[in-house]
Structure 1
Amino acid sequence: MRDDAYSLILAAIESGTYRPGDRLVESELAERFGVSRTPVREALQRLETQQMLVRDGRSLIVASLDHNQLAELYVVRAELEALAARLAARHATPEEVRVLAQMVAEDQKAVGDPEALARANKRFHRQIHLASHNRYLVQQLDLVHRSMALMARTSLAAEGRSETALAEHKRIVDAIAAGDGDAADRALRQHISMAWETRLKLEAQADHD
């Protein structure tokens, strides 16, 4: 029950049901997810320890990331994701490569729907992580992507970003399929760099508005 409550609350944050700044109330969460308050309380404490939640007086709210935290997160993400792509080029099975290629093709249907594409994007990157066949790297990337749930909105919402992101995904898959670790590394780094640049533009626009 404790793990179920944790997973349910974390999934709600990752899906955007609860966004940065939202207050989480123990009794409301227990009723929403159909669990008792004890496992909810323990799950909230665990999420606070992981800095997914922060204190606001006596309340717990979903944490938010400031500019410096975002910059640091993207630096770490670029390094770890690039390593995953490099290892995937070396270790991915033919089946895993085909699945990645199928994902890119299927995700074309989500262009114009930023939220659906954001979910597809998570699945795509997760598949690369798994294709690296390095459990310790996968664990670290899970932590990074958990923190990414604290971003208020997806960079894929920017005009034109969906199409370019999918083109970048294809280049990554092509490099992995060719077994070219250097190219996979470069393609993944460029992809993360473009995502960060797009997010900076979104943040600047939000500040201006």
Structure 2
Amino acid sequence: MSQSRPNQKDAYSLILEAIDVGVYKPNDRLVESDLAERFGVSRTPIREALQRLETQSLLERDGRSLIVASLDHNQMAELYIVRRELEGLAAKLAARHATEEEISVLRDMVSADDALVDDPIALSKANRRFHEQIHLASHNRYLVQQLNLVHRTMALMATTSLAAKGRGEIAQSEHKNIVSAIERRDEAAAGQALNDHISTAFMTRLKQDAGQRGGNGA
């Protein structure tokens, strides 16, 4: 039993990461034997990981099979509303509680991420690390737990808003404003800057979806 827990965690993390980076997209079917072969683990931890992901609504049933869940327009809107409020709260608390070392890490992250603006996939991963660092800097474990759930669900979106033309540079500028407000210990400004950042990302995604629908109908 002592060896099953690391395997289960590894299988869960591997499948979740594969969904997150787009190896498995919404509505793709996940087969135990294929996953076990891909990740080099036995089927038991794969089965347990799939059950966990289904419980978290990241996978859903299609007959007897499990597929990657997808979000409709209303679900996406609901997710962004919750994310905006929770992220804004995290920024406010970070402005109040972050240590100088944590603020320094945020500054370094933003500076390093400037080199990734032309690589949406790499920037998306860096963006997630940046937001997770703000979550941790809030020093509120319950808020971090809720934001982890929100960010796991974000993986069900087939594309990243950072792939939109010019969005990488804009997002980086927004990140710098957020860090600046946190560094000044301006809770209201930090919360508003992060709220605005999420709102802009949501609007960008809505435009992406509208463009895809228009393209499909042409």
Name the TM tier (shorter chain). over 0.9
Q: Quick one: distance in 2 between partners of 1:173 and 1:70?
A: 27
Superposed displacement of residue 167, structure 1: 0.4
Counterpart residue identity of residue 13, structure 1:
I
Q: Quick one: distance in 1 between partners of 2:146 and 2:169?
A: 28
Q: Quick one: distance in 2 between partners of 1:132 and 1:155?
A: 25
Q: Identify which of 194, 197, 200 aligns with 1:191.
A: 197
Q: Identify which of 80, 88, 91 aligns with 1:82.
A: 88
Superposed displacement of residue 6, structure 1: 1.3
Q: How many residues align?
A: 209
Whether 1:177 and 2:183 are equivalent positions in the alignment is yes
Superposed displacement of residue 3, structure 1: 2.1
> Which portions of structure 1, spanning 4 or more consecutive aligned residues, are displaced by more than 4 angstroms?
none
Counterpart residue identity of residue 103, structure 2:
V
**Deviations 1:163-187, CA, capped at 9 Å, x for gaps:** 1110000000000000000000110
Q: Quick one: distance in 2 between partners of 1:160 and 1:7?
A: 31
Corresponding residue number in structure 2 for 1:18: 24
Q: Identify which of 58, 68, 79 aligns with 1:62.
A: 68
Question: After the TM superposition, which of the residue ranges 36-45 and 134-143 deviates more from structure 2?
Answer: 36-45
Corresponding residue number in structure 2 for 1:204: 210
Q: Quick one: distance in 1 between partners of 2:183 and 2:8?
A: 41
Whether 1:159 and 2:185 are equivalent positions in the alignment is no
Counterpart residue identity of residue 155, structure 1:
S
Question: After the TM superposition, which of the residue ranges 177-186 and 58-67 deviates more from structure 2?
Answer: 58-67
Superposed displacement of residue 60, structure 1: 0.9
TM-score (norm 2): 0.94
Q: Which runs of 5+ in 1 are unaligned?
A: none
Counterpart residue identity of residue 171, structure 2:
A
Question: After the TM superposition, which of the residue ranges 197-206 and 17-26 deviates more from structure 2?
Answer: 17-26
Q: What is the aligned-residue RMSD (CA, Å)?
A: 0.8
Instruction: Give 3-state SS (helix, strand or coil) of 2:88's partner.
Output: helix
Question: After the TM superposition, which of the residue ranges 5-14 and 80-89 deviates more from structure 2?
Answer: 5-14
TM-score (norm 1): 0.98
Q: Identify which of 3, 7, 11 aligns with 2:9.
A: 3
Q: Quick one: distance in 1 between partners of 2:86 and 2:194?
A: 10
Corresponding residue number in structure 2 for 1:168: 174
Superposed displacement of residue 193, structure 1: 0.5
- Same amino acid, percent of matched pairs: 69
Corresponding residue number in structure 2 for 1:53: 59
